[in-house]
Structure 1
Amino acid sequence: MNMSPLSPVSPQHDFFLVRQPILNREQRLVAYELLLRGTAQQQAAADGDAVAATASVIAHASDVGMEQVVGLQLAFIGVDAVALMSDFIRFLPHHRVVLEILSTVRATPALLARISALRQEGFRFALDNAACDTPEVQPLLPLIDVIKVDISLLAAEALPGLAQTLAVSRKKLLAGKVETPAQFEQCLALGFDFFQGYYFARPIILSGKKMSVSELAILHLLELIQGEADNREIERRIKHDAMLGLNLLRLVNTPAIGAGARVETLGQALLVLGRRQLRRWLQILLYVKPGAGAQGTSPLLQLATTRGKLLELMVERLRPGQQHEADIGFTVGIMSLMDALFSMRMSEVVSSVRVSSKVGDALLLRHGELGQMLALVERLEQADDGPATHAMLAQLRLSDAELRAIQLEAYEWVNGYVQGLSHATH
């Protein structure tokens, strides 16, 4: 079935995109799976026209640019037989995507020929959660690069045997729905190559854990900014941490800041950045680990900055002109993962940073408007498009279309900002 590139590929206005991180064995972000959620998907499923959902994802990703949606990472996109045989598949940049063949696909001669042709054009393929020893799937294996296993569908004791069976295929193995550090460690030991899930955002509470000297220095600087200390006091504090001062000078001399003339002193750097930019940089810098390689591939950094920007943009949409409130939204979003960052309970993090009651209620209880926004973002990360999610959208007076616009703006900002931060800290 060939589809016109006009009608089925036109972006819909009643869905939002979800991108779920995929990590490699070194805990670096290497890809996102793109999912469609919202009314459009529900209607397509009801009509038995699942390809419309895939077409909408492809159309929207193509329309706004793949770099805006996933940055420098690859995009995994689920496709069924109809999508594979359709013309719109070629709207995708073959070097930026992995086509994930759904488990419902049957390996007909025509489909195998189609996949072979797309491979010759440079497309790569993953096989989604299919039993690889069945006659229906065997013909696909030579054409597949990655096999995905949803570990939530398996008992923990069944996973080793399956991993051993799949290893014979010599394909890369992706463990999906990895939700705890223990599950990750098991899959890592079994030889899986890639991991999808939010295990990296789950805090491992270490009794008696203390923040490092550099972390405390950054938090103290944030308190000085909150207390409206003058630039001389802030400069004096930064000078106590040579690496912090060096990174600040690198940051203001990156093209993203656009300082113009070369900035060579900390005093100049503080004037160029301004308080708002300085606060944001320090908040994000907490997630930057020295010697951790490309910071843009840190999943915790990406997720925290995305949450921060999403909440900021939501507040801007609902409360135009209230920049201070939007900044508080960014703070709530980026602090929401500090329990995982510091391996501490969130209550300890909140007491260490001495935040306002509004921020504390949002982080600890998901109370207040900011708490509702954070809870919504967490649901979106899990691709939850159930009635409760749509009720939360309605309560916040946000439409699917507004949410999608906010997501795309946040993704683009995070991709650019984090890449700039990586250059500034290396």
Structure 2
Amino acid sequence: MTDNASLDEASQPLRMRNFYLARQPVLDRNQALFGYELLFRGSAQGGAHADSGLAASAGVLHHAAQLGLPRAIGDATAFLNIDRDGLMSDIFAFLPRERTVLELVRSVEPDDAVIERMRVLAGHGFRFAAEASSHGQALPRLLPVIDFVKMDLRALAPVTLLSLAPRLRTTGKRLVAEKVENHTEYRTCLDVGFDYFQGYYFARPTVISGRKLSPSQTTVLALMDLVASDADNGAIEALVKREVTLGMNLLRLVNTPAVGAGRRIESVSQAVTLLGRRQLQRWLQILLFAEADVRGHSQSPLLMLATTRARLMELLAQRLRPAQKNVADIAFTVGMMSLMDTLFCMPMRDIVEQIPVIDEVRAALLGRGGFFGELLRLAESLERMDEAQADGQDGVLSTLQALAIDGDDLAELEVSAFEWSDKVVRYAM
């Protein structure tokens, strides 16, 4: 997929940046997307805002708003952590109030001034959330002015969760389960009556021994093999014609505005001619995730995560190695393939045996090795930024030792990846 000289140059280390963000999905009871919690870090050295952890001060929120928060959340609702200074500031003119939930951090004391400020902002259309264990005995005073109560599964004992959730439901507040790490926890919270779920349980691989790929997935993989082996267009079209639904889905996907083809693509032959083999290969990778979503939702969280991760890695590779187009293509592929163990319910080692990949891709997927592995670690650390903070470590900073890009540029790449992924998923499903 690329030459050795390009890979040697691409193996250079990364350098640190100082402003970045994370977008963590909030799903409803059907596992469809409801919103995102946006987390910001405004200091690479842990200086400014370090005392409040991931709370966004007015300055950080203003900075993020200038990047374009609507681009970062699409049509979803934004949950924004906010401290007292931010709550009392004038930042709110920059936020999409009808799609913004302000989540009070632990340090916010609900005194008279805070409650009055919340009432004023609620009158302008903003909604509020508070976390049960963080606010403890102050929660009853907050209940009349908040709309969502979050419950951190890592901070509450199971017996407390099972008794507290039903009581809070009687208040009419929406309940959000935070840090849901696996499907067992999701099912438990679903049974208890939670309305929304936050965490990457949907991205955790559940390995099923002997599982076979679906006929649709097998066909897509066969198409990917034909494209990669430079088969003629006739062979590719013949395979697509045997799967009419697959062909329709592929054409719908390659006509998304995210492709930027400039004209409508009416056939697979046109797709190959106008997009080229590399672009067609990436849309087949995306189609693997779209085809596997049998829930019928308008947005698949796994597809959203995979396309966001892949696009961010591609944009980072383009910025770091602008003269090496192949390197960006490989970065995108690594991002998409990094979640295929979850998609197929198979160990990653089995997947790289079934899907031929170059050594650099294998090293990245199996051991997070090399340049592409470094980009993958960075993307994964960004996604789980709050987990690193809770553990007293910052996985993002530990990966950014020599990234030759400033913070504003990198945050812009993240927002661009979010925006691109939203467009793709809207057409893919």
How does the TM-score come out when normalised to structure 2? 0.88
Aligned equivalents of 1:273, 1:303: Cα separation in 2: 24
- Correspondence for 1:29: 33
Q: Which runs of 5+ in 2 are unaligned?
A: 1-16
Q: Which runs of 5+ in 1 are unaligned?
A: 1-12
- Percent of aligned pairs with the same amino acid: 45
Superposed CA deviations along residues 223-263 of structure 1, whole A, max 9, x for unmatched, are 11111111111111111111111223334555555666665
- Correspondence for 2:327: 325
- Deviation, structure 1 residue 133: 7.0
How many residues are aligned here? 407
Q: Are the counterparts in 2 of residues 372 and 392 from structure 1 also a CA contact under 8 Å?
A: yes
CA change 1:390–1:251 in 2 (3 A) is closer
Question: What are the within-5 Å matches in structure 2 for residues 5-404 of structure 1?
Answer: 14-39=18-43, 42-45=46-49, 53-130=56-133, 134=137, 136-253=138-255, 257=259, 263-288=265-290, 289=292, 292-295=295-298, 297-383=299-385, 384=388, 386=393, 389-404=396-411
Alignment partner of 1:412 out of 419, 422, 425: 419
Aligned equivalents of 2:84, 2:321: Cα separation in 1: 45
SS of residue in 1 equivalent to 2:401:
helix
Output the aligned Cα RMSD: 2.4
SS of residue in 2 equivalent to 1:65:
helix
CA change 1:19–1:227 in 2 (3 A) is same
Aligned equivalents of 1:152, 1:36: Cα separation in 2: 21
Aligned equivalents of 1:121, 1:146: Cα separation in 2: 17
Q: Are the counterparts in 2 of residues 146 and 172 from structure 1 also a CA contact under 8 Å?
A: yes
Q: Look up the equivalent residue of 2:28 and give its one-letter code.
A: N
Superposed CA deviations along residues 73-102 of structure 1, whole A, max 9, x for unmatched, are 111001222222222233211112101122
CA change 1:278–1:157 in 2 (3 A) is same
Q: Are the counterparts in 1 of residues 42 and 49 from structure 2 also a CA contact under 8 Å?
A: no
Q: Are the counterparts in 2 of residues 148 and 173 from structure 1 also a CA contact under 8 Å?
A: yes
Aligned equivalents of 1:249, 1:376: Cα separation in 2: 32
CA change 1:19–1:171 in 2 (3 A) is same
- Deviation, structure 1 residue 294: 4.2
Aligned equivalents of 1:357, 1:261: Cα separation in 2: 37
SS of residue in 2 equivalent to 1:286:
helix
How does the TM-score come out when normalised to structure 1? 0.88
Q: Are the counterparts in 2 of residues 51 and 82 from structure 1 also a CA contact under 8 Å?
A: no
SS of residue in 2 equivalent to 1:43:
coil
SS of residue in 2 equivalent to 1:203:
coil
CA change 1:396–1:379 in 2 (3 A) is same
User: Looking at both structures, which has the greater relative contact order when contacts are Cα pairs under 8 Å and sequence separation is at least 6?
Assistant: 2
Aligned equivalents of 1:60, 1:217: Cα separation in 2: 46
Aligned equivalents of 2:295, 2:85: Cα separation in 1: 42
- Deviation, structure 1 residue 400: 3.5
- Deviation, structure 1 residue 363: 0.6
Aligned equivalents of 1:411, 1:112: Cα separation in 2: 34
Aligned equivalents of 1:259, 1:88: Cα separation in 2: 38
Superposed CA deviations along residues 307-365 of structure 1, whole A, max 9, x for unmatched, are 11111112112211211121111000001111111111111111111222211111111
